[in-house]
Amino acid sequence: MTAIGTTKIYDTTLRDGTQREGISLSCNDKLRIAQRLDDLGLDYVEGGWPGSNPKDVEFFDRMTELDLKNAQITAFGSTCRAGSQPEEDNNLQALLQANTPTCTLVGKSWKLHVTDVIKTTQEENLRIIEQSVAHLKKHGKEVIYDAEHFFDGYYSDLAYAMETILAAQSGGADTIVLCDTNGGAMPWQIASVIREVKKQLNTPLGIHTHNDSGCAVANTLIAVREGVTHIQGTINGYGERCGNANLCSILPDLELKMGITCLPEGNLSELYDIAHFVAEVTNLSPDEHQSYVGHSAFTHKGGIHVAAMRRNSHSYQHINPELVGNEMRTVVSELSGHGNLHSKAEEFGMRLDNKETVTEVLSEIKELESQGFSFEAAEASVAIRLKRRQPDYKPPFEFIDYSATVQHRQGRGMFSESLVKILVNEEEIHTAGDGNGPVNALNIALRKALLPSYPKLNEMHLSDFKVRILDGRDGTASLTRVLIDMHNEQERWSTVGTSTNIIEASWQALIDGIEYGLVLT
């Protein structure tokens, strides 16, 4: 097992990650994420490019607000401009003014960029690399040199690409990071190049990969196999175009598959929470099918799979999900077997001792799914169906009738009215409700009928309402699926209804949701 500290993890979510389309972080957002990354136990957190925008300048001014225990905050910038001296360069001055112990400096490795992008000579590019690194070293900084487009440059002119990183080494760089900036390299190319570089370079090597060919994680891991000890990436793989190497895959791969410890003991179990926290702050929906940290990463749906999992959890899982802070889940669908329902019942604290009951519920679910229901995202509808089949179960209410109307009246505008008739404790209750729509009116009327007997309804709230048209060929007569999300202070749950009538579909989901909330929360 490699000792902690041998492999350094460098996070660039706050700079490279924010280059993803759709991400824009405030300074407060960046500070919150930086603190969580430090809590995870990363070695470096790149705060941004202080020479590029006022927000990053503010971040470095305020980084003393952070309670750092593990990570060094680093400032990112580029070599001085061609034809100028480091002492006169505003970008390098901004790096020094950021007041971080470590600076990351990016320079050109590919002749195409030297001649076509920064429009200078090969010799001048070598000078600005060496002198820019040396300037930062003269001011006592740890310097990480990012050799941008190194692999493209190597395959274009390997001799010149090597000269650029040798110039960084001559300037005193502490780490030289080989970057697959265009994200097109293959793992065998990464391995081959690193072997050749190591023959000529004495400085510790790092790797920075992008995911344009879908190989960013694989390219990073193969680089580690070849002796690279500094790893750059982002949480959830955020980054420009197709993203950067995903630390949420790399970290568990290193620790659990390769035996390389890179986080303080026990911290890997925080990975699921970190991934979802960063997604929340960036205002992006989490990729729930992401390896290790996706909500579905250890979710089992097929009946044969679930049956095997109930006998031995290793049969369809490559690791214990708790190691990364995740959990095993079972979903119920038309593909389910008896094991799915047994597992789901256990999640809700129920026992299914009667095999015929399991078969009946499973048949009902399969039949309903053939009609357009979908129970994967509506586990409360599954749970309440299981509960209703228990021999000692007495439902909190029984549905008799309902009606719902939508009206427009002069001077009042649009409004909805509903009538609900239910049986509660053998008493027939008839109530009415007004709302801003027919589903809202039904919800109000149903609650009015139930509240005297079940005051806990005051703690239950409808939080989301989703409608999906299942077959658009029939226009307004199409089959409609409704998903309703409800919550109280402790729990969230979802239910489903399906009908060609959107009000009927909504009512099905609504009564499932309220019955579940009254009985199982």
H or E stretch covering 355: helix 355-370
**8 A C-beta contact, residue 221 and residue 231:** no
pLDDT band of residue 335 (cuts 50, 70, 90) is low
Q: What is the pLDDT of residue 492?
A: 87
Give the β-pairing of 230-233 and 492-499: unpaired
Q: Are residues 131 and 103 in the same domain?
A: yes
Between CA 488 and CA 485 the distance in angstroms is 11
Between CA 375 and CA 388 the distance in angstroms is 16
CA 153 to chain centre: 33
Half-sphere exposure of 300 (CA within 13 A, CB side): 26
Question: Domain end: 281, 315, 341, which one?
Answer: 281
Between CA 7 and CA 260 the distance in angstroms is 8
Q: Are residues 204 and 317 in the same domain?
A: no
What is the count of structural domains for the chain?
Answer: 3
Question: Please, which residues have CB within 8 angstroms of residue 92's CB and are 6 or more apart in sequence?
Answer: 77, 80, 86, 132, 135, 136
Q: What is the pLDDT of residue 343?
A: 65
Query: How much is the mean pLDDT over the chain?
Result: 87
Question: In this structure, how many other beta carbons lie within 10 angstroms of the beta carbon of residue 248?
Answer: 25
Q: Give how far Cα 246 sits from Cα of 58, 214, 251, 277, 356, Å.
A: 27, 11, 9, 15, 47
Q: What is the pLDDT of residue 268?
A: 96
Q: What is the pLDDT of residue 5?
A: 47
Structural domain contains residue 66 = yes
Q: Are residues 431 and 470 in the same domain?
A: yes
Q: Are residues 412 and 267 in the same domain?
A: no
Structural domain contains residue 386 = no
Q: Are residues 470 and 406 in the same domain?
A: yes
Average pLDDT over residues 502-516: 88
| pLDDT at residue 3 is higher than 50 | no
pLDDT in tens, 241-258: 999 999 999 999 999 999
Between CA 47 and CA 43 the distance in angstroms is 13
Structural domain contains residue 294 = no
H or E stretch covering 329: strand 329-330
Between CA 81 and CA 403 the distance in angstroms is 74
Closest CA to 333 of 367, 360, 359, 307: 367
Between CA 353 and CA 48 the distance in angstroms is 59
Question: Domain end: 370, 389, 408, which one?
Answer: 370
Q: Are residues 346 and 209 in the same domain?
A: no
pLDDT in tens, 135-153: 999 999 999 999 999 999 9
Closest CA to 290 of 266, 261, 321: 321
Q: Are residues 343 and 456 in the same domain?
A: no
Structural domain contains residue 377 = no
Q: Are residues 78 and 227 in the same domain?
A: yes
For the record, the structure tokens of 239 come out as: 């980054």
Q: Are residues 354 and 205 in the same domain?
A: no
| pLDDT at residue 513 is higher than 70 | yes
Structural domain contains residue 482 = yes
Give the domain range for residue 455.
398-520
Structural domain contains residue 316 = yes
Structural domain contains residue 393 = no
Task: Tell me the CATH number at 71.
Answer: 3.20.20.70
Residue owning tokens 């031995």: 312
Task: Find residue 2's DSSP bridge partners.
Answer: 260
For the record, the structure tokens of 426 come out as: 């053998």
Structural domain contains residue 19 = yes
Q: Are residues 347 and 483 in the same domain?
A: no
Q: How close are the terminal C-alpha atoms of the chain, in Å?
A: 45
pLDDT band of residue 357 (cuts 50, 70, 90) is low
Between CA 49 and CA 94 the distance in angstroms is 9
Q: How buried is 281 (Cβ within 10 angstroms: 0-12 exposed, 13-18 middle, 19+ buried)?
A: middle
Task: Tell me the CATH number at 510.
Answer: 3.30.160.270
Q: Report CA torsion sign: 148, 152, 156, 158.
A: positive
Q: What is the pLDDT of residue 2?
A: 41
Q: Where are the beta strands (DSSP E) in 425-470?
A: 427-435, 461-469
Q: What is the pLDDT of residue 333?
A: 47
What's the full length of the chain, in residues? 521
Question: Domain end: 225, 251, 281, which one?
Answer: 281
Question: Please, which residues have CB within 8 angstroms of residue 271's CB and are 6 or more apart in sequence?
Answer: 40, 248, 251, 252, 292, 293, 324, 325
pLDDT in tens, 466-475: 887 766 555 5
Q: Are residues 40 and 177 in the same domain?
A: yes
pTM (2 d.p.): 0.72
Question: In this structure, how many other beta carbons lie within 10 angstroms of the beta carbon of residue 520?
Answer: 16
CA 93 to chain centre: 36
Q: Are residues 247 and 358 in the same domain?
A: no
